[in-house]
Amino acid sequence: MAVGHDLSASYLNKQLQQLVEAGAETGEPCMLDGFEDRYAEVNGTRLHYVVGGEGEPLVLMDGWPRTWHGLIKILPLLAKRFRVIAVDYRGQGDSDKPADGYDKKTMAKDVYKLVRSLGYAQVNIAGGDVGAMVAYAFAANYPQATKKLALWEGGPFSQIFLDIVGPFPKPGEPNAWWYPLSQIEGLPAKLLAGRFRHVIDWSIDHFAVHPERIGEESRAIYAAAYNDPDALAAAFGVYKTFHQDLADNNAYPPLTMPVLGLGAQYVAAVQAMMDGKATDIRYRTIKDSGHYVAEEQPEALAAELEKFFG
């Protein structure tokens, strides 16, 4: 089933209406044909995931400030060949938002326990942005459970990333302001609760080459998912742990399974972060896209993933 403009718009309108009727809560009921919502109690938390398709299992995760919804354009394309499991990681979307556990090693354990609860000994796994961080940690901690790994616009957090971004970017340069803000206890929620739509629009305007491909409906869904103080605390908790993530990533041995690094706006950063992290890795560039590849160039991303995992 291809996702054309009309189908996507209809689906998104249903999503937005559901949010409005529910008082803009974070839950996003899946309305894609052939997919369904599920929940699993794993590793002391409850994860929400969307599943559909037949074939080898393929676990997908998107990043911040997104939910599984950021993958809706690629899910039907990949479901033609794979059993696709799109996960809201801990703190994201309709998954639980506990007070801690946002180091990527713990988040990867959540996903591993989910995979085992579904009866799989081994899966393909892919992620973008924060989803890439979790997917890498999954492969590093559970190599026997990882057949292949793909990352787009993200990877293991490293000092190289901080060197690229810089602590005080000049006006107009990439500015990862949420990293230092995440280190101030309680402040992100106080500043942004009920105002997260500003962050959604800012991030799209600054990091997308085609912001028009991320429409009003999607923006409203993302804003609703992060407006709540608990959701904001969880979202910034993902970045608050980067010191621990850096230590963990430096301790892992190089991955030996096949790895694909995909990038558009930050392909050079993906290569820098993965330098020395895998023995069998290849890189591909997604053209004419910004940071939000799954929404800006879904067909190109799905084709690269299908080719690699297939």
Give the domain extent around 292.
Answer: 5-309
pLDDT, residue 28, reads: 56
Alpha helices in the chain (DSSP H): 5-21, 75-78, 104-117, 130-141, 159-165, 178-182, 187-192, 196-207, 216-226, 229-240, 242-251, 267-274, 293-296, 298-309
The burial class, CB within 10 Å (0-12 / 13-18 / 19+), for 4 is exposed
- What does the block give as tokens for 52? 């559909």
Provide the CATH number for the domain around residue 115.
3.40.50.1820
pLDDT of residue 232: 96
Bridge pairing between strands 35-42 and 45-52: antiparallel
SS3 content of the chain, % helix, strand, coil (to 5): 45, 15, 35
In total, how many domains does the chain have? 1
pLDDT at 29: 65
pLDDT of amino acid 166: 61
Tracing tokens 């302001």 back to the chain, one arrives at 177
**Residue 152 is encoded by which pair of tokens?**
């787009």
CA–CA dist 59, 44 (Å, integer) = 20
Entry pTM? 0.88
Tokens of 177: 């302001």
Task: Give the separation between CA 291 and CA 211, rounded to whole angstroms.
Answer: 10
DSSP state for residue 278 in the 8-state scheme: B
Count of other CB atoms within 10 angstroms of residue 162: 14
Tens of pLDDT along the chain (310 residues) come to 333 333 344 444 444 444 434 433 445 567 788 999 999 999 999 999 999 999 999 999 999 999 999 999 999 999 999 999 999 999 999 999 999 999 999 999 999 999 999 999 999 999 999 999 999 999 999 999 999 999 999 999 887 766 766 666 677 777 888 888 898 889 999 999 999 999 999 999 999 999 999 999 999 999 999 999 999 999 999 999 988 999 999 999 999 999 999 999 788 889 999 999 999 999 999 999 999 999 999 999 999 999 999 9
Phi/psi at 85 (nearest 5 deg)?
-125, 100
